[in-house]
Amino acid sequence: MPGPILHQGATVLCAHGGQAQPTTPAPRVMVTGMPVTTQPAPYVVAGCPFVVAGAPVPCVTAQWVTASVRVLVMGMPVLLLDSQAICVPNGTPLMIVQTQVRVIAT
């Protein structure tokens, strides 16, 4: 499904409110002056307050499982507004809260 492309400045949170950032954005393609992000690069999560039975189990990293099926950057699928990711070690999702809306991909 078509959707806006994710970029380094997008607001992405874990399900518990931790801030997620890309580890390796693609520097060759820019949208709104920032590099786009691609599927293979994991995101790191900071500030996740998740606790299970009194023990902290915060989201540390997240791996994307869906991305664009037609648009590639340096041979890697770009991430879209509807892309899905799973956090490690607890398996919860990332939520894309805000991204640029001028460049759309499928």
- Domain limits of the chain? 3-105
Strand partners, 76: 73
Which tokens is 51 given?
A: 């606790």
Share of the chain above pLDDT 70, in %: 100
Q: Name the residue with tokens 């390796």.
A: 24
Give the residue-averaged pLDDT of 53-68: 96
Within 13 Å of residue 33, how many CA atoms lie on the same side as its CB?
Answer: 0
Share of the chain above pLDDT 90, in %: 97
Give the residue-averaged pLDDT of 22-34: 96
Give the residue-averaged pLDDT of 63-90: 97
- 3-class secondary structure, 89: coil
CA 8/CA 20 separation, integer angstroms? 10
Within 13 Å of residue 52, how many CA atoms lie on the same side as its CB?
Answer: 6
Which tokens is 26 given?
A: 């693609």
Q: What is the pLDDT of residue 57?
A: 95
